[in-house]
Structure 1
Amino acid sequence: MVRAIMHGCNGKMGQVITGLAQDDEGIAIVAGVDQYTEQKNDYPVFKSLAQCDVEADVVIDFSNAAAVDALISDCVAKKIPVVLCTTGLTEAQLEKAAAAAKEVAVLKSANMSLGINLLLKLVKEATKVLVPAGFDTEIVEKHHRLKVDAPSGTALALADSINEELNNEYAYNYDRSQVREPRKKEEIGISAVRGGTIVGEHEVIYAGPDEVIEFKHTAYSKTVFAKGAVEAAKFLAGKAPGRYGMEDVI
C-alpha cells in the first residue's frame, strides 16, 4: 500500500482526497500538512512538511501557491516524490519544480481529470486541420467565485497545446477592452468567468468561415480531480527522479 502525505489536507480538495483514500485499498493518507491544524482527521497534521516525522512514499499537494516553494524544498530534502496539483504557480516556482525533478520524482499537471487530458490531445488534432483552413481559436473558462488565479492553469495548458501545433507563433490575448481594432490572425483569445459554485468548465472554440466547432469539458464535482490525484500518487510512488504528467498515469 502506498503511504501518502496530504499537503493542504484541511482544504476542500484535501478533504475530498482523504475521503477517497479511505475507500481505496491501494493508498492510505498517513499524515497531513496544513496551517490550520485544529480540524480532526484520522492522521496527524503538521504545519509544514519539514515538521512531519511520519514516513511516506509520496506527497499529494492541493494547497496554494504561497506554500509550494517550501514544499518543493522539503520534498527534495526528504527525497519524497510529489504530485503538484496546486495551480497559479509562478514561472520561478515552475522552474524550481523542474530543478527538483533532477533529485525526486515530480508530477505536475494543470488538471488532474482524465477528460481534460484527453481534450489536450483532441485540440492538437483539431488545430492541425482547422487553423490552416482559416479558423480562429478562443478559449473560455468558468470557475467558482472563490478561485483566485485567472485564467486557469487548464486554460493555459489548452492554449499551450494548441500553440505547440502552431510552432508557438501565436500570442495569447486576455483582454480586448483597451484596443479598438479587428482580431489579429495569430492570436488565441482566453477569457475567464468567475461566479457562483461552478466547479470547472473549459470550452475551446474554433470559429471559421460560416461554421463553428466547439470542444467542451464540464466538471460537476471536485471528485474528478481528486480521483486523478489519487491515481497519480499511486503511480508516482517509487518512481525514479524525473518530470511526470497525467499522460504517464493514463
Structure 2
Amino acid sequence: MIRVALSGARGRMGGLIMEEIARADDMELVAAFDVVGIGSPVRDGIFLSDPRRMGEELRETRSDVLIDFTVASAAVENAVAAATEGVALVIGTTGLSKEQLSRMQEAIEDHVPAVISPNFSVGVNIFWKLVEQAAAALKDYDAEVVEAHHNKKRDAPSGTALKAVEILKKETGIENVSFGREGIDPRGREIGVHAVRAGDIVGDHLVLFAGPGERIEIRHQAHSRSAFASGAVRAARWVVGARPGVHSMAEVLDV
C-alpha cells in the first residue's frame, strides 16, 4: 500500500486528489497539509496538519510520497522537507521562478525521485508531443500560444502555455517571445503568447501555426479538473521506487 501525503488539501485540486486516492486499491492518505483549517478533519480520521511541521509529520506517518499543489513559495519549502525525509515527490504547483525551481531541483537530485509538471493531464502531455512534432516541421510558420483559465488563477501565462513556448523555442530556434501585443509595430520573428482569465474556465490551450494560405491549430480543452487529479495520482504511483532525480510526466506515460 502506497502511503500518500497531500499538501494543499483545501485547494481546488486537493479535494479531487483525495477522492482519487480513496478510490485507489493500492493507496491510502496518511497526512494532509494546508495553511487553512489546521486541525480540522479531512477524511478517514485524517486531520489537517501545519505545513511548518511537514518534515516531522512525514516521518511520523511513514509517508512514501508527497503530492504538492500549493503556491510557489510553499512548494519549494515542502519539497526540501520531503527530500530531507527521503519522501518521493509529485509537484503540480506552477508559477515557480528559475531560482525556486533550481533550489527545488538541488534538494531532489541524488536524494529522492520526483515528478514535476505544470500539467498532469494525459491529454495535455499528448498535446505537447503534437506541438513538438508540428513545430519541427513548420519552422517558418508563425506560432502563437493562447491559453484561458478561470478568473481565480494567479499566474499568467499558465505553466502549460510556458511549456509549449519552450517546446516551440527549441524546435524552431526562435528566442523572442511576445507576451500580448499593443501598438502599431509589425509582427517580427517571435512567438506570441496570450492569456485569458474569465469565469470558471478549467483550462484551454491552443497553439496556432500560420503560413501562406493556411493555418494549423492544436488545442486541448479540460472539461474537469479530475483529469489533472487522476494524472497526479498516476504519477504518485509511478514515482515510488523510481530512481532519484527529477522526472517528467512524459516518462510516467512513456510518450
Which interval holds the TM-score relative to the shorter structure?
over 0.9
Structure 2 unaligned blocks of 5 or more? none
Q: Secondary structure at the match of 1:31?
A: strand
Shift in Å at residue 131 of structure 1? 2.3
2:101 is aligned with 1:94: yes
Within the candidate set 95, 110, 113, 2:118 is matched to 110
Aligned partners of 1:190 and 1:69: how far apart in 2? 27
2:199 is aligned with 1:163: no
Aligned partners of 1:115 and 1:15: how far apart in 2? 21
1:181 matched residue in structure 2: 185
Shift in Å at residue 41 of structure 1? 2.4
Shift in Å at residue 50 of structure 1? 2.6
Q: Secondary structure at the match of 1:146?
A: coil
Contact 2:139/2:171 (CA < 8 Å) preserved in 1?
A: no
Contact 1:57/1:238 (CA < 8 Å) preserved in 2?
A: no
Within the candidate set 123, 129, 134, 2:137 is matched to 129
2:213 is aligned with 1:205: no
Aligned partners of 1:115 and 1:98: how far apart in 2? 26
| Worse-matched range after superposition: 93-102 or 16-25 | 93-102
Contact 1:81/1:106 (CA < 8 Å) preserved in 2?
A: yes
Shift in Å at residue 240 of structure 1? 2.5
Q: Secondary structure at the match of 1:74?
A: helix
Q: Secondary structure at the match of 1:157?
A: helix
Q: Secondary structure at the match of 1:215?
A: strand
Shift in Å at residue 67 of structure 1? 0.8
2:243 is aligned with 1:237: no
- Name the count of aligned residue pairs: 245
- 5 Å-filtered alignment, 1:1-250, equals 1-36=1-36, 37=38, 38-42=40-44, 43-48=46-51, 49-52=54-57, 53-102=60-109, 103-132=111-140, 135-167=141-173, 169-177=174-182, 179-185=183-189, 187-250=190-253
Contact 1:205/1:214 (CA < 8 Å) preserved in 2?
A: yes
Aligned partners of 2:219 and 2:229: how far apart in 1? 20
Shift in Å at residue 101 of structure 1? 2.4
Aligned partners of 1:147 and 1:131: how far apart in 2? 32
- The CA RMSD over aligned residues, in Å, is 1.3
Q: TM-score with structure 2 length normalisation?
A: 0.92
Q: Deviations over 1:34-53 (max 9, x none)?
A: 11223532223211113413
Percent same amino acid among aligned pairs?
Answer: 36
Aligned partners of 1:190 and 1:222: how far apart in 2? 23
Q: Deviations over 1:66-99 (max 9, x none)?
A: 2112102201221111111011111111101221
Contact 1:21/1:29 (CA < 8 Å) preserved in 2?
A: yes
Q: Deviations over 1:146-177 (max 9, x none)?
A: 0000000000001111111123x321110322
Q: Deviations over 1:10-50 (max 9, x none)?
A: 11111100011111112111110111223532223211113
Contact 2:143/2:207 (CA < 8 Å) preserved in 1?
A: yes
Aligned partners of 1:172 and 1:26: how far apart in 2? 44
Shift in Å at residue 59 of structure 1? 0.4
Aligned partners of 2:92 and 2:56: how far apart in 1? 21
Q: TM-score with structure 1 length normalisation?
A: 0.94
Structure 1 unaligned blocks of 5 or more? none
Q: Secondary structure at the match of 2:32?
A: strand
Aligned partners of 1:175 and 1:138: how far apart in 2? 10
Q: Deviations over 1:158-217 (max 9, x none)?
A: 1111111123x321110322x4211002x1100000010000000000111111110110
Aligned partners of 1:190 and 1:39: how far apart in 2? 42
Q: Secondary structure at the match of 2:100?
A: helix
